[in-house]
């Protein structure tokens, strides 16, 4: 019995030796281990204290696509609609860092309440009463011939002056006032306060009848859900010549 075991062990050792010999390593096995991580430029700032004006209240893992073509993956990020800025939880110091908007091309949340398709992209829009354009971060709702972005802007609904032990403080209550931005293939943008029938008539006055027909057929007065938005954008993309 012992002899038999010895033979079995010898053969097993042979198996291990031969298997190892069969492995021929060529260069490139180690290629992926040596990639230099891209660096995010940013500034340490005080973040808004309220919980309303954040797109995501808690830090969520996401990927940032930089203008340089590099991608910073799986870092904790938070987007502030009030400031229109993206924040990153710097892991070493544990402090929130406002990422320079100039460096960002787009960013993506890995999952927002189970939704894995939340993307924000930097777009150029015209300022009101000015010829200058500014770059803003808009949530990409639909991408096609006509793309749709939402700017999560806020306005001060109520302002309170409160007397505290440490002095007088001002407390603001915010309410979301989303702005819908329709982006043409040539990067031209049109901003709408809402995707209502009236706004769409103003957006495409020559297609008024077709829009009216679309709304009548769909049976909705307002377009609200993502699926409804998608259908509307597909329809607009098909009727509006660029």
Does 1 bind other proteins (CB under 8 A)? Our answer is: no
| 97 is a contact residue toward other proteins (CB under 8 A) | yes
Q: Check binding of 23 to other proteins (CB under 8 A).
A: yes
Q: With CB under 8 A as the contact rule, which of the stretches 25-33, 113-121, 167-175, 202-210 interacts with other proteins?
A: 25-33
135 vs 224, which CB is nearer to other proteins? 135
CA–CA separation, 143 and 57 (whole Å): 26
Cβ count near 143 (within 10 Å): 13
State yes or no: residue 166 binds other proteins (CB under 8 A). Answer: no
- Compute the distance between CA of residue 207 and CA of residue 106 in angstroms, rounded to an integer: 32
Tell me which residues in 56-85 interact with other proteins (CB under 8 A): 67-69
* Pick from 126, 145, 144: nearest CA to 135: 126
Q: Tell me the three state secondary structure of residue 101.
A: helix
Candidates 2, 5, 21, 163; binder of other proteins (CB under 8 A) is 21
Q: Does residue 216 bind other proteins (CB under 8 A)?
A: no
62 closest CA partner among 54, 74, 45, 70: 74
Residue of 12, 134, 156, 169 that binds other proteins (CB under 8 A)? 12
If you count them, how many residues does the chain have? Answer: 242
**Shortest spacing between CB 43 and other proteins, in angstroms:** 5
Q: List the one residue out of 65, 66, 226 whose CA is nearest residue 142.
A: 226
DSSP-derived secondary structure letter, 54: B
Nearer to other proteins, 5 or 221 (CB): 5
By the rule CB under 8 A, 218 interacts with other proteins? no
User: Which residues, 6+ apart, have CB-to-CB distance to 68 below 8 Å?
Assistant: 38, 103
Residue 37 touches other proteins, criterion: CB under 8 A:
yes
Residue numbers of the site for other proteins (CB under 8 A)?
Answer: 4, 8, 11-12, 14-15, 18-31, 33-45, 67-69, 90-93, 97, 100-103
């Amino acid at each position: 019995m012992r002899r038999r075991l010895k033979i079995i062990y010898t053969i097993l050792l042979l198996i291990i030796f031969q298997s190892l010999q069969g492995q021929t390593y060529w260069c490139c096995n180690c290629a992926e281990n040596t990639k230099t991580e891209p660096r995010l430029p940013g500034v340490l700032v005080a973040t808004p204290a309220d919980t309303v004006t954040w797109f995501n209240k808690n830090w969520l893992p996401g990927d940032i696509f930089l203008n340089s073509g590099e991608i910073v993956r799986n870092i904790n990020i938070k987007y502030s609609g009030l400031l229109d800025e993206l924040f990153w939880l710097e892991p070493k110091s544990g402090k929130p860092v406002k990422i320079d908007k100039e460096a960002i091309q787009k960013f993506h949340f890995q999952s927002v309440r189970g939704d894995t398709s939340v993307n924000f992209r930097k777009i150029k829009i015209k300022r009101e009463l000015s010829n200058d354009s500014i770059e803003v971060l808009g949530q990409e709702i639909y991408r096609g011939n006509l793309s749709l972005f939402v700017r999560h802007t806020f306005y001060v609904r109520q302002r309170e002056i409160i007397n505290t032990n440490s002095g007088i403080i001002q407390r603001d209550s915010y309410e979301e006032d989303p702005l819908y931005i329709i982006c043409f293939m040539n990067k031209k943008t049109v901003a709408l306060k809402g995707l209502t029938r009236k706004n769409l008539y103003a957006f495409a006055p020559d297609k008024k009848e077709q829009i009216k027909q679309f709304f009548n057929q769909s049976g909705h007065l307002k377009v609200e859900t993502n699926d409804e938005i998608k259908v509307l954008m597909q329809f607009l993309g098909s009727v509006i010549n660029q």
